[in-house]
Amino acid sequence: MASAAAFIAAAGPAAAQTEIQWWHAMSGALGEKLEKIASDFNASQSEYKVVPVFKGSYPETMTGAIAAFRAKQHPTIVQVFEVGTATMMAAKGAVYPVYKLMADENEPFDPKAYLPAVTGYYSDTQGNMLSFPFNSSTPILYYNKDHFKKAGLDENTPPKTWPEVEEFAKKLQAAGIACGFTTQWPSWVHVENFSAMHNIPLSTEANGFGGLGTELKINNPTLEKHWTALVDWQKSKIFDYGGRQGKSDPKFLSGECAMTFASSAARANIMANAKFGVGYGMQPYWPDVQGAPQNSIIGGATLWVLAGRPKEEYKGAAKFFAYLSKPEVQAWWHQQTGYLPITKAAYELSQKEGFYEKNPGSDISIKQMNLNPPTDNSKGLRLGNFVQIRDMIEEELENALTGKKSAKDALDAAAKRGNELLRQFEKSNS
């Protein structure tokens, strides 16, 4: 009997725990780090248990959460990538804004503690943060130091401009390396961030921050020049296209391509799988474009809280966000993954710990984000239906890379199709 009573007593607190479902889009090395954060939070207290659930890619996770919300089977917290922000903001009644959640639950939350490049993206016009910044990244250049040495290039000097990228690639190919460079996320890197780095508008209305009547401006001479070069380079494998999202990763990790443009958060996967020395550099720019280089913009995702869950779950979500905001938690996440340190305190702690000195290049993303004060062209984008628009942009650019269209025609078609989707979004949300 005594052992049964002891069992019941032991089971009591566990049974009383409130479970909080957290749907996310992180697999592999990043997924393991995310699960560690959840288990560390769960171990830090006994009232709440955050349960991370992998739901596939970013688009799959977002569309799955929206469908689950309609069926009233949704999680408390969902990770949504940055281009889903306008869609989530427009989802009236579906979202419990984070600034309101934290105030309602009396949990500490100071928007000024976060990096301005991050807070601006996820705040309303009054400066209220609608979602919780979790993983913010920006694309950087990764290169194979062993290949650089083989080609007689300085392993500590990455190319700074696009003409230098071409020149380096030709030297690498002359040394027997098949491909100069590849890229992840073609639209994010070579349209969205490219535009920010060259201080040119992606769309009107301050890239959508100014209102719903925005129109794409991607069919401009600077982007046309860049994509004409990429199409030309593809012919000789100076550039070798590997597909959307992270599908190009094997080309770099196998040593086939000497350089790649990838998220700063690809660092965890690259460090885990590269069998060569890895170097880092900023995104290159065309030196004849006035105002370049400006600054890059963020990608990654934030955590949105969905309405219609029990109050106890919201108490736990607020406590979890307060835990996530701790400098030591944020610094660990940043150092382990390559995501930006989203709070100033996490950045300062990483500096104090000597992380950047011990890991040269790990602060490239921070320097690139803060190269210059952001302009209307370089603070980010807030465009409705942008998940679908990005797919259309990439589809049209693939038409250019396969020779079906010129770069100009592909960009014209992408702008036209994208603007039709923007008008649909405006109509349904105004």
Among 242, 257, 283, which residue's Cα sits nearest to residue 158?
Answer: 283
Q: How much is the average pLDDT of 407-413? A: 98
pLDDT at 15: 56
Across the chain, what does the average pLDDT equal? 93
**What number of CA atoms fall less than 13 Å from residue 172's CA on the CB side?**
30
With a cut of 50, say whether residue 102 has pLDDT above it. Answer: yes
Say what percent of the chain tops pLDDT 90: 81
Segment 320-327 shows an average pLDDT of 95
Tens of pLDDT, residue by residue over 115-135, are 877 887 888 878 889 999 999
CA–CA distance, 269 with 353 (Å, rounded to integer): 23
In this prediction the pTM is 0.88
pLDDT tens string 168-218: 999 999 999 999 999 999 999 999 999 999 999 999 999 999 999 999 999
Q: CA-to-CA distance for 350 and 422, rounded, in angstroms?
A: 41
Q: Rounded to an integer, what distance in angstroms lies between the CA atom of residue 177 and that of residue 395?
A: 28
Residue 169 is predicted with a pLDDT of 98
**What gap in Å lies between CA 148 and CA 168, rounded to an integer?**
9
Q: What pLDDT shows up at residue 4?
A: 46
Question: CA 178, CA 29: separation in Å to the nearest integer?
Answer: 28
- pLDDT, tens only, 30-84: 999 999 999 999 999 999 999 999 999 999 999 999 999 999 999 999 999 988 8
